[in-house]
Amino acid sequence: MVKVTTNRYTIILLIQTVLLVIDWNINIFALLCRQSNALMLILFLVQDVGLIISLSLLLLTLFSTFVFQTGLVYILYERFRTTLIICMFYFILTTILHIWSLVTRWGNIHHTWTTTFLIIFILQRITAAIYYYYYKRASLRISDPRFYEDTDLESHRLNQNTQIIQ
Q: What pLDDT, on a 0 to 100 scale, did the predictor assign at position 159?
A: 54
Residue 61 CB-density burial (10 A; 0-12 exposed, 13-18 middle, 19+ buried): buried
Mean per-residue pLDDT of the chain: 83
Instruction: Say yes or no to pLDDT of 98 above 90.
Output: yes
Q: Summarize pLDDT for 125-148 with one digit per residue, the tens.
A: 999 999 999 999 999 888 766 666
pLDDT above 70 covers what percent of the chain? 80
Query: What is the DSSP secondary-structure string of 112-147?
Result: ---HHHHHHHHHHHHHHHHHHHHHHHHHHHTT-GGG
User: Is residue 165 in some structural domain?
Assistant: no
Q: Summarize pLDDT for 30-49 with one digit per residue, the tens.
A: 888 877 888 889 999 999 99
pLDDT above 90 covers what percent of the chain? 46
User: Is residue 163 in some structural domain?
Assistant: no
SS (H, E, C) 73-94: HHHHHHHHHHHHHHHHHHHHHH
Q: What pLDDT, on a 0 to 100 scale, did the predictor assign at position 17?
A: 93
User: Is residue 99 in some structural domain?
Assistant: yes
User: Is residue 157 in some structural domain?
Assistant: no
9 near 143, Cβ under 8 Å? yes
Q: What pLDDT, on a 0 to 100 scale, did the predictor assign at position 1?
A: 44
User: Is residue 166 in some structural domain?
Assistant: no
pLDDT band (50, 70, 90) for residue 94: very high
User: Is residue 77 in some structural domain?
Assistant: yes
Total domain count, the chain: 1
Instruction: Say yes or no to pLDDT of 161 above 50.
Output: no
User: Is residue 160 in some structural domain?
Assistant: no
User: Is residue 156 in some structural domain?
Assistant: no
Q: Summarize pLDDT for 67-76 with one digit per residue, the tens.
A: 788 887 888 8
DSSP symbol at 70: T
